[in-house]
Amino acid sequence: MPRVGLDKTKIIQAAIAIANEHGIEQVSIASLAKNLGVRPPSLYNHFKSLMEIRTQIAREGMQRLEETLLRSVAGKSGEDALLHFSKQYLLFANDHPGLYEATIQPMNTPDKVVKETSKNMIDLLIQLLATFSLEEENALHLVRGLRSIVHGFASLQRADGFQMNFKVEESLLYTIQILCKGIKQET
C-alpha cells in the first residue's frame, strides 16, 4: 500500500486535464482514480463527492477566466476594450474547453464563489460600457447582450455549430464592431 501522496490540488489538476481532453462529463471518480493510480474510494479522503470536485473545477475556471479578462482590458477602454475582452474570452474557451464547460454548467448548482466571480465579470462589462455613456437601463441590456455574444460564440464554436470555413474569431470581432457602431449612434 505505497502512499501516492494525493492532495486536493493534484486531484483537481488531473480533473481539469481530463475535462479539457475529453469533456467535463468524462470527469468521474472512476476515471480520476484510474488516472491517479488509486482506487476510487481513496478520493473520498480528499473530496466529499464528485459534485464537489466538479464545483472546484468550475471555481478554478471562473477565476482563471476572470483574471484573463481583467488582463485583457487593462489600460484599454471603449470599443478597443470590448474587442480585446471578447477575443480573450473566445481564446480561453478554446484553449481550456473543459474548464470553460465547467464554468457554465453549474450556474444551475448555485455555488457562492462561482456566482460571485460571475458577478465580477458583469461588473467589469458595466465598466467597459461606461465610456459610451448610455442610459443605465440600456447599459444593462447591452451587458446581457455582450455576455450572450461571447458565450454564444464560445459554445456554438465548441459544438461545431459553425461549419463554415472562415475564422470564428473574425466573426466575433466583426459582430462586436457592428454592435459598437450601433451603440455610438445610440448616444
17 interacts with DNA by CB under 7 A: no
With CB under 7 A as the contact rule, the residue among 17, 20, 28, 168 that binds DNA is 28
* String of DSSP letters for 14-75: HHHHHHHHH-GGG--HHHHHHHHTS-GGGGGGT-S-HHHHHHHHHHHHHHHHHHHHHHHHTT
Nearest CA-CA partner of 150 in 124, 182, 114:
124
Taking contact as CB under 7 A, which single stretch among the options 43-51, 89-97, 138-146, 162-170 is the one that binds DNA?
43-51
The reply on whether position 30 binds DNA by CB under 7 A is yes
Our finding on whether 22 is near its own copies (CB under 8 A) is no
Q: Does 183 bind its own copies (CB under 8 A)?
A: yes
Task: State how far the alpha carbon of 69 is from the alpha carbons of 66, 113, 155, in Å.
Answer: 5, 17, 17
List the single partner that 179 binds among its own copies, DNA, none, CB under 5 to 8 Å by kind. its own copies
- Under the binding rule (CB under 8 A), the answer on residue 27 touching its own copies is no
The one of its own copies, DNA, none whose footprint includes residue 130, by CB under 5 to 8 A per kind, is none
